[in-house]
Structure 1
Amino acid sequence: MKVSHYFEGEGVVTGGFAQSVNNQRAILDDRGIDYTTEPTLDCDLLHLNNAGPRSIYYAKRARRRRIPVLFHTHNTAADFRDSFVFSNALARPLKPFLAYAYDQADHLVCPSEHNREVIAEYTDTPATVVSNGFDGERFAGWDDPELREEYLDRYDLDPPVVFMFGHVIKRKGLDTFVEVARRLPQYDFAWFGYLNPTGGTVDRFLQPRETRHLVENSPDNCTFTGYIEDPRGAPAAGDVFFWPSRNENEGMALLEAMHCGVPPVVRAIPTYEWLDDGEDCRKVETTDEFVDAITELCEDEGERERIGAGAAATTERFTLEAVGEQLVTLYDELVSGPTNERTPTG
């Protein structure tokens, strides 16, 4: 089997989106599957990871040649909102564009059941849920005491540290993060990650004024580190993972923090129906509840360890080994089964 594994926007799109693509390629490498990162019709399967015009062009050509097309549904209009300047205005036309793009595929792969339910409103293209998974090797040695001291000292943090890991955007719950930090001045809060939507150099042009205002006017106990080269630094320094995101297709940073045994406090959104409140997380809805849950975990080391252990156990089904088997099985089914039974739009 040869796969054209194409990620339109590679090198520009960053964060969990890009890491998901890296995870897929790690799976293909591990299983010895021949693939190219270029869009080509010299393949048995075309796997597309971003709904751009070039991807749509190749999807149409592949369908005409009866080459099965698999589209990863990382993009939704809701997930696009509250990210950068004009994102909310663009979200409305984005939905029909994505619907058109996903309708060109023979099959869709959705990172969560919630994502599949959302995508079902876009297109009737058949879909299978396969988690983005996480690469545990990236976090090997995260619990090294010297690494912890390095990151605590670098950002002048005093344990217990409440932390977030990811792009600094409103959709991730930036306003809630800042407000809770303001109401809990006795704890240090650290947000590890890019201070701009793309991780590139056009940061202040793309970052909404409200986002800049929240960061610039955050309380003294709230630190925004910017990009860190070693992702292990975040769970090494952190004691409670604060994940107030309002919309996620899955949330890889959450899986990574849980894998490291850090207890997460998450917003109760439909994406996280698989989490068990009080066992592998604290799941809340309001700012007051965030304050209470974070205070409890910061003050009770035993409870942090209990929920952290439950979180680490839960992530076993999201390892690359586990999700890789599901992805490769889907590949086999698409390559060996009939194609072009659906009629794409346009």
Structure 2
Amino acid sequence: MRIVYFAHSVLNRGGDKMVLAHLGRLAQAGHHVTLRCNLIDTAFPLHPSFTLERPLFPGKLGTLASALLERQDADLVLATIVPTAVLLRFRNRGRVLHFAQDDNETAYGFPGNLLMRWLYRLAFGPLSIPCVTVSDTLCSLFGSRFGAECAVAENGVDTARFFPAPSRELVAAKKGRRAILLLSRADRRKGFDLALETVRRVAARGGNLELWTVGESAPCAEPDLPHREFGSVDEDRLREIMSSADLFLYPSRSEGYGLMVLEAFACGCPVVTTGAVGFARDGENALVAPVEDVAALADRVERLLADRELAERLAEQGRGYASRHSLAQSGSCFEALIAGLFPAKK
């Protein structure tokens, strides 16, 4: 099968990681995979057999124009955002799959969110674009809102790359302090502003703490709070960081899945997050606060730091959950869905 992944960019986002992993598995199985993107700037591995091409026109608007005007020489055209899927559908009838990583409405304020909703109605209604989502939560949302019948290939974690492996250097550098790990990202949906406010509240109440951040350049939460900024890291370094931190604080406002939480689970790092992460269960595998409730987040962080027995229990339950949601299982499910939705031509 000839497969084209059509997108503006491939970066260091969790959704990009899953797309590349699934496409790598399909390439390994003998399918011809082309990444047709204007920007590829990622630390995630690209399968050596991938063909890399650019769309007809450059830039974000050029990507959208190319999706509408350029017919793809492929048996399957994969798109992860609904605007691209809709535009691709007009020149590639019956060959487009929307692989939904998130609810695209949440990326926009008014009136952009209304445009996204209209595009979803068009995609799932008159255009009948098949959709695979990364979680049951997202599948249920599309079903209740648009009457869509989606398949689910739930995300998974590569347990050969993510497992408990504390770094002696990182642990020693803490000098007895408790390290709170955050994802720094400008995307408001990830809740970095909420994370900083939560850390400020916890630090103001005392405690021997330090802040760790991965991702984009981040401001310091408190002038007197030690802050270690790791920046963008590969999976091996992320494993060391997660395994060495005392907790991962991830106060997301909106998630299609929440892959970093699953990776923290696999590394044995206790997690404080929000109800936006559908598989996080309060008191079972994580401590979960309502979305945007900083006071509840701070209380849960303090509780987890103060109760080592609770932290150990949650870490153990998280590792168990991760072991049942591996990348291999996710990839196998995605591959089977592709074969069912787009059977090989005879």
Q: Deviations over 1:76-102 (max 9, x none)?
A: 244314xxxxx5553332322344345
Q: Relative contact order (alpha carbons < 8 A, sep ≥ 6): 1 or 2 greater?
A: 1
Q: 2:194: which partner in 1?
A: 176
Q: How does 1:99-178 map to 2 (within 5 A)?
A: 99-101=121-123, 104=127, 106-120=129-143, 123-139=146-162, 143-146=165-168, 148-149=170-171, 153=173, 159-178=177-196
Could you tell me how far apart the structure 1 residues matched to 2:83 and 2:250 are? 29
Q: How does 1:193-208 map to 2 (within 5 A)?
A: 193-195=215-217
Within the candidate set 286, 295, 311, 1:304 is matched to 311
Q: 2:58: which partner in 1?
A: none
Q: 1:25: which partner in 2?
A: 23
Tell me if structure 2 keeps the 8 A contact 1:68–1:334: no
Q: CA RMSD in A?
A: 3.1
Distance 1:56 1:276, change over 3 A: closer
Distance 1:336 1:4, change over 3 A: closer
Within the candidate set 316, 323, 334, 1:316 is matched to 323
Tell me if structure 2 keeps the 8 A contact 1:243–1:265: yes
Within the candidate set 281, 284, 299, 1:276 is matched to 281
Give the TM-score normalised by structure 1.
0.75
Tell me if structure 2 keeps the 8 A contact 1:49–1:71: yes
Tell me if structure 2 keeps the 8 A contact 1:134–1:320: yes
In structure 1, list runs of 5 or more residues that go unmatched: 82-86, 197-214, 339-346
- The 3-state SS of whatever aligns with 2:233 is coil
Are 1:62 and 2:61 counterparts? no
Q: 2:52: which partner in 1?
A: none
Tell me if structure 2 keeps the 8 A contact 1:70–1:105: no
Identical aligned residues as a percent = 21
**Deviation for aligned residue 1:144:** 4.0
Q: Deviations over 1:298-325 (max 9, x none)?
A: 1232321211110011122321111112
Tell me if structure 2 keeps the 8 A contact 1:172–1:246: yes
The number of residues matched between the two structures is 302
Q: 2:225: which partner in 1?
A: 221
Q: 1:210: which partner in 2?
A: none
Distance 1:33 1:159, change over 3 A: farther
> What letter corresponds to residue 311 of structure 2 in structure 1?
R
**Deviation for aligned residue 1:34:** 3.4
Tell me if structure 1 keeps the 8 A contact 2:286–2:314: yes
**Deviation for aligned residue 1:248:** 0.7
Could you tell me how far apart the structure 1 residues matched to 2:72 and 2:6 are? 15
**Deviation for aligned residue 1:176:** 2.5
- The 3-state SS of whatever aligns with 2:342 is helix
Tell me if structure 2 keeps the 8 A contact 1:71–1:105: no
Within the candidate set 93, 97, 103, 1:76 is matched to 103
In structure 2, list runs of 5 or more residues that go unmatched: 37-54, 56-70
Q: 2:50: which partner in 1?
A: none
